[in-house]
Amino acid sequence: MSRSSLSGVYAAAVTPLRPDFSPDLDAIPGLLSFLAGRGCHGALLLGTTGEGPSFSPAEREAIWRAAVKVRDQHPEFRLLAGTGTPSLTETIDLTRLAFDIGFNAVVTLPPYYFRNASEDGIFNWFRELISGAVPADGSLLGYHFPGVAGIGFSIELLVRLKDAFPAQFEGIKDSSHDGLFAKQLGERFGPDLVVFSGTDSDFTLALQSHAAGCITAPANLISPSLRQIYDVYSDGNNTAELQQRVTDKRHALEKFAPFPPSLKALLHRLYGLPRWPVRPPLVEMSDVDEDRAVAELA
C-alpha cells in the first residue's frame, strides 16, 4: 500500500439540498459526522456523486465552508474538494479557495468539455493550475473518470505531471473501473503515486497495486465494509471474503445508476437521513426502484 497522509477510506459524499434545490448548508456537517462515525477517514465534496458541476462557484464556497464545521466533532476528518471545471481561471480560483478554507487536498477533473485536447494541452492546463493555485505543501489529485469526463490521464501524462510537480501532484482518483489500469499504475509507480480507487469491487486489487485507499460513491452506504477491507489488508490478512461482499453490494447499486438519486433515497430509507432531492437534470429515484434496491442490498 501507498502510505500518504491522505491514505484511507473516503466517501464521495452526496450534497444535501432543500426542496428548492439550494444547498442545505445546515445538514452538511451532520452528513459528514455520520460518515465519520461509519469508518470514513474523510469525504470528497462536490465530486460526481456530489453533483459538483451543477453548482456555481458561490454555492461551492458555501458548501465547503459548511463542511469544515464537521471538525468541531471530528478534528481529524479529512476533506477533499472537487474543483475541476472546463475553465482554467475558474478552476484556479476554486482550487485556491479550497486550500484557503482548510481542505486537505483537491480532486480535479481535466478540462472535460475539450475532449479532443492533446496531452500537451492537458499538461499545460495542469501546469498553470498547480503553479497558480496549489501551495507548496498542498496536494492535488487528478480525477481520472474517462467514462464520464470523456478524457483522462494516460500513464505517460501522469509521469510528466509527477516529474514536474513531485510533491503537489500527489496522485489520482481512479474511477476508470479498469482493473488492468489499476495494475499498470502499481507496476509503473509503486507507492510513489498516491492512487485512490473509485471502484469498490476493485478495492483489494487496487490495494495490491499500492493504492492508498478508495474514494467511492457507495461508501455513503457501505463505508464500514470498505474500512474493514482497508484495515484487514493493512494488517496483512486476507480480504477475499470481505471483498466479495462489497463487490456484491457495488453490483447491486450499479443497477440503479446514476448514484446521486439512489444514494440519497437509500440514506433516507436505511439510515433515517432526510430525503434530499437532486438538482436537475437528475431526477428522483422512484418508489418502485427504491424498494427493488433495498431488496437487492439485502
Provide φ and ψ at 231, rounded to 5°: -70, -45
Grid-cell match 494541452, residue found: 121
Active-site residue (options: 143, 216, 233, 249): 143
Q: Is 112 marked active-site?
A: no
Provide φ and ψ at 171, rounded to 5°: 170, -150
Q: Which three cell numbers stand for residue 197?
A: 480507487
Q: Is 113 marked active-site?
A: yes
Q: Which three cell numbers stand for residue 61?
A: 464556497
Q: Is 173 marked active-site?
A: yes
Active-site residue (options: 10, 15, 48, 112): 48
Q: Is 48 marked active-site?
A: yes
Active-site residue (options: 49, 95, 108, 173): 173
DSSP string of the chain?
A: ----TT-EEEEE----B-TTS-B-GGGHHHHHHHHHHTT-SEEEESSTTTTGGGS-HHHHHHHHHHHGGGGGT-TT-EEEEE---S-HHHHHHHHHHHHHHT-SEEEE---TT-TT--HHHHHHHHHHHHHHH--TT--EEEEE-HHHHS----HHHHHHHHHH-TTTEEEEEE-S--HHHHHHHHHHHGGGSEEEE--GGGHHHHHHTT--EEEESTHHHHHHHHHHHHHHHHTT---HHHHHHHHHHHHHHHTT-SHHHHHHHHHHHHH--------TTS-PPPHHHHHHHHHHH-
Name the residues annotated as catalytic. 48, 113, 143, 173
